[in-house]
Structures are given as C-alpha cells and as structure tokens.
Structure 1
Amino acid sequence: MIELLEGRFFKTFIAVMEEKSFSRAADKLGYVQSTVTTHIQFLEQACKQKLFHRLSRGVKPTDAGEKLVKFAYQFVHLGASIEEAMNEIEQPRGTVYLRMQESFFLTRISSIMKHFVAEYPEVKLRVESGFHQDILNQVLEHAIDFGIVPRDPQRNDILFYPLVEEKLIFIASNALMKEVETEGLNRLSREVMISFGTICLYHTHASKVLQEAGIYVKDALELPSLEMIKESVTCGIGFALVPEIGVKKELDEGHFKVLPISPDSYSMHGLIIHKNRELSYPAKLFKSELIKRLTPPM
C-alpha cells in the first residue's frame, strides 16, 4: 500500500475534508476539479475503501474517510517536518499550526507572536480561533501542532503544559450595577447573560456559578467575539463572564462594573499537544517561547 501513496494525494484529501467539496478543494489547491477527483480515486484504490459520499451539495466523508483523516494530517506533517529538519542548518523555517480562544489571543498572544516572527522571519504562524472541545479535537486529529485551552482535558493521550491562570469576572453596565445594588443579585434573573455560547467553558462555568448563587437566567445571547460582548454589556443589553485581563481598560475607564458574585473564579490556560506528535523544529521553538513568556517564575 505504501508504494501507492503520495503526499499530494493526502493534501488533496485534507482539502476536500476541510472544504466539503471537490470544486472548492480544487480552487484552494489551484487544481482543476478533475485532478482532485483523480487524486481521491488513487487514494481510494490504495486504501481499498470509498472515502466520500457524493451529495447533492458537496461531499461527506465515509467511515473510512473519517478514520483516514488523522493519518493524512500525520503524513503531511511528516513531510513538512523532514523538509524543516533539513533547513535547520541555515535558519528555522516552516509553518506552526495552533488554535486558541480569540480572547486569549487578544490579551496574551499577539505581542508574543510579534516578537517571535521578528526573531524567526522564515517561520510562519497559522493561528485559528476556537473553543475548548474543537481545539481538543483538532489536536487529537493531528490537524494542528498544538492548542491553548482554558483547562486541562485530563486525557492520557494529551500532554498539558500550564501557562497562565486567568481570573474570570462578571461585568455589567453602570446602570444595571445600580439596580443590582438596590434590588440585590436576583435582579440579574431578569437580564440576558451574554457569552460565546454553550460550546465555551466560560458559558458553562457562568451558568454553574449563577445557579449556586440562586440566580436563574432565562435568556442567553451568543456572540462570536470578546469585542462584541464588551460592546453589548456597555450598551446595557445584559451581563457577561469574561477574563479580567480582557476588560481591564474598560473597567479603568468606567465603561462597566464588576458584579459582586462570589467566590472568585479562575481558569488555568495551558498548551495541549498530542502525546504522539513529533513537533517540528519551528513548533518546538514557539512552544518554548510561549512557556518562557507566559509561565510565571517559580
């Protein structure tokens, strides 16, 4: 079987998996669609399995396709690692793939990236945003080098490196805060809780804390970014649980207040890597940079 496999077939397979379409995969790779079809057919012949169901709109992976994707990412990663290893003699080059929550990138990572790229100009950083579960899934599938998540997944196949502990706070507009001071925390039961959605651990944690405090929120508003959440809170649409570091400027400027919901909440963000992932040299460099700059001194 190995004699029939080529890296370009796996690259095409991954593109079809990600784009869920032969035509979009062709556009992404710069191929004509017939080339994509041929690559997938060669791969299916080598695997002796059908890899995709053809639908009226796009394609859906078969069970065999779902099983193959992890190995496809590993195959492509191995090729890239070999190339990068040969280039280490001159200067580190290659691409590092990572995924994290948008709020963590804005508050912690952007300045580190700027310094890293300046020191290693031949290394490209491909950063995507996500939430705990999909970041974990990407690491498990070997689709990325590593992820940054707000808590330890506690899995035997995942290595977790603690980076920084974030304090989480509930914020509200000045007007809502005055009403809470007058009526008590139960006033929040008539308000909307704003969050990144149920896929975010912050949402789950906020719901738990509120229930323990006897506050039952009827409605929730899901927004995709920290900036949208902050703007919505400032406008008085509702209240939210967010990392304190992400709203320090607005708190200092008096745009909103911290709700007195106790006890204090914390989230230990850390780096996760698949136990069997052999990191490329650039990925090892960036991992070291993150740990050095984010981990507090002992």
Structure 2
Amino acid sequence: MIDLLEGRFFLAFIALLEEKSFSRAAVRLGYVQSTVTTHIQQLEKISGQKLFHRYPRGIELTEAGKVFSKYAYQYVHLSQSLKESMNELDQPCGTIRIRTQESFFLTRMLPFVQEYIRNYPNVNLRIEQGSYQDILNGVLDYELDFGIVPQDPNRQDILFYPIMEETIVFAASEDIARKVRNAGFQILNDQLFISNGTSCLYHTSAVGVLKNAGIMVKDALELPSLEMIKQYVSCGNGFALLPEIAINNELKTGTLKILPFNSKMSFSHGLIVHKNRELSFTAKSFQSELQRFLWV
C-alpha cells in the first residue's frame, strides 16, 4: 500500500475532514473541487475501504475513515517535523495545534499567546476550544500537538506535564450570597446550577461538593461560554463553579460573591501529549515557553 500513497492524498483527506465540504477543502488547498474528489477516490481505492459518507448536508467519516484519520494526522505531523529538521531551524516556525477549555484560555493563556506571537511571528498557533473529553480525544487521535486539561488523565498512552494549579470557587450574585449567609446553604436546593455541561470536570466536582453539603442539583443550565455564565449568574439567576481568577473583576465590583463552602477545590492543569508523538523543534520550544510563562 505504501508505494501507492502520496502526501497530497493525506492533505486532501485532512482538509475534507476538517472543512466538512469538498468545495471548502478545495479552496483551502488551492485546488479545483474535482481534484479533491479524485484524491479521496484514490485513497479509498488504495485502502480498499470507503472513508467518507456523502450526504446532502456534508460528509462524515466512516469507521474506516476514523481509523485512517489517525495515520493521516501522523503523516502530516512527521512531514512538518522533517521539514523543520532539514532546514536546520534557528527560529521556531510552522503550525502548532492546541485544544483547551475556554475558561483556561481566556484567564491564563491569552497573555502568553500575545507574547509568544510577538516573539515568534513565524509560528502559526491554531488554538481550539473543547471539553475535557474533546481535548483528550484530539490528542489520542494524533489530531493535536498538545491538549491542556485540568487534571492528569492517568493513561499509559498520554504524557502529562503540569503547568499550574487553579483554584475553583462557587460564585453567585450578592442577593443569593446574602440568602446563603442568612439561611444557610440549603437555599441552593431551589437555585439553578449553571455550568459548561456535564462533560466538564468542573461540573462533576461541583455536584460532588454540593452533595456532601446536602444540596441536590435539581435544575441545571448548560451555557457554552465563560462570559455567558458570569453574566447570567450576576443577574441573580442561580450559581456556578468558576475559576477564581475568572471573576476577579466581578469580585472587586461586588457583582459576584464567593459562596463560602468549606471544601477548597483546585485542579492541576497541564499539557498532554500522545506518548508516541515525536514533537517537532517548534513544538518543544512552545512547550518550554508555556511552562516557563505559566508555572507558579
């Protein structure tokens, strides 16, 4: 099989996978659409498997396509690493793909990214938002160079590099916080709990702490962004579990208050990398810079 495979076939596969459209994949690669179609047909012929389901609304990977995608990403990654090594780079360049939770990016990574881009203008940082499971899957499928997660996955196929500790607090409006001070935590049984969703580790931790305090979460609301959660809670609509650093301004202005639970919650955020992924010179440099910037 290997003597029939060409690098442009892998590039076409990844472009189609990520763009979900033959026309958009063609634009991304600078091809006409028929060229992308031909490359995918060649891959399917060589592999002897159908790699994509074609639907009017777009495309989806078949089971064979999901298997193939892992190797396609590895091929592109190795090609980039080889290119860097052959050029004997003295400055990082190329693309680094990272996935992290939105709250961590906004509160911790954004200042680093701004500094890094200034210092290394030839590096293209492709940063995506995702849940814990999204991040882990991206690393396991060789789709990402790095993931940033709030705890060690404790898997033999994943390397975990701690970068910082994060304190998490329950927050609510002044009105709800006053009711808690006057009547106790039991009033939260009648309040809406707001989070990024059940796939978020913060949500899971919150439910455990609340249960230990005799509070059962009867009504929960999933919101997609940190800013939406803060705004919703500030209006007196329920309470949420948030990184303490994310609400510093709201605490100063009094629009949010920390609910005084006895249990202190913290997470050890870290970079995760697939054990079998050979990091490029640029990726190693990025990892070193990020750990230096964030580690406290």
Alignment check: 8 A CA contact 1:88 1:281 kept:
no
* SS in structure 1 at match of 2:180: helix
Percent identity over the alignment? 58
Alignment check: 8 A CA contact 2:247 2:256 kept:
no
Following the alignment from structure 2 to structure 1, what is the Cα–Cα distance between the partners of residues 70 and 162?
Answer: 26
* SS in structure 1 at match of 2:236: coil
TM superposition shift of 1:13: 0.9
TM superposition shift of 1:51: 1.2
Q: 1:256 aligns to what? A: 256
Q: AA paired with 1:241? A: L
TM superposition shift of 1:239: 0.5
Following the alignment from structure 1 to structure 2, what is the Cα–Cα distance between the partners of residues 208 and 90?
Answer: 49
Q: 2:78 aligns to what? A: 78
Alignment check: 8 A CA contact 2:172 2:239 kept:
yes
Following the alignment from structure 1 to structure 2, what is the Cα–Cα distance between the partners of residues 88 and 126?
Answer: 23
Following the alignment from structure 1 to structure 2, what is the Cα–Cα distance between the partners of residues 24 and 252?
Answer: 46
Alignment check: 8 A CA contact 1:195 1:241 kept:
yes
Following the alignment from structure 1 to structure 2, what is the Cα–Cα distance between the partners of residues 85 and 113?
Answer: 24
Instruction: Summarize the alignment of residues 143-292 of structure 1 with structure 2, pairs less than 5 Å apart.
Output: 143-292=143-292
* SS in structure 1 at match of 2:168: strand
TM superposition shift of 1:90: 4.6
Alignment check: 8 A CA contact 1:87 1:93 kept:
no
**Please, which moves more after superposition, 79-88 or 269-278?**
79-88
Alignment check: 8 A CA contact 1:96 1:126 kept:
yes
Q: 1:117 aligns to what? A: 117
Q: 1:293 aligns to what? A: 293
Unaligned runs of 5+ residues in structure 1 are none
Q: 2:41 aligns to what? A: 41
Q: AA paired with 1:206? A: A
Following the alignment from structure 2 to structure 1, what is the Cα–Cα distance between the partners of residues 92 and 181?
Answer: 57
Following the alignment from structure 1 to structure 2, what is the Cα–Cα distance between the partners of residues 106 and 289?
Answer: 18
Alignment check: 8 A CA contact 2:136 2:147 kept:
yes
Q: 1:51 aligns to what? A: 51
**Please, which moves more after superposition, 266-275 or 58-67?**
58-67
Q: 1:2 aligns to what? A: 2
Alignment check: 8 A CA contact 2:50 2:62 kept:
yes
Q: AA paired with 2:212? A: E
Unaligned runs of 5+ residues in structure 2 are none
Q: AA paired with 2:206? A: A
Change (3 A) 1:271 1:227: same
TM superposition shift of 1:14: 1.4
Change (3 A) 1:182 1:126: same
What stretches of structure 1 move > 6 A for 4+ residues in a row? none
Q: Describe the superposition over 1:229-251 as per-residue Cα deviations: whole angstroms up to 9, x where unpaired.
A: 11111111110000111111211
TM-score by length of 1: 0.95
Following the alignment from structure 1 to structure 2, what is the Cα–Cα distance between the partners of residues 68 and 167?
Answer: 40
TM superposition shift of 1:53: 2.4
Following the alignment from structure 2 to structure 1, what is the Cα–Cα distance between the partners of residues 253 and 280?
Answer: 44
TM-score by length of 2: 0.96
Q: Describe the superposition over 1:264-296 as per-residue Cα deviations: whole angstroms up to 9, x where unpaired.
A: 111110110000111111111110011112223
TM superposition shift of 1:123: 1.2
Alignment check: 8 A CA contact 1:14 1:69 kept:
yes
Following the alignment from structure 1 to structure 2, what is the Cα–Cα distance between the partners of residues 212 and 88?
Answer: 57
C-alpha RMSD of matched pairs (Å): 1.4
Q: 2:97 aligns to what? A: 97
Following the alignment from structure 2 to structure 1, what is the Cα–Cα distance between the partners of residues 129 and 199?
Answer: 13
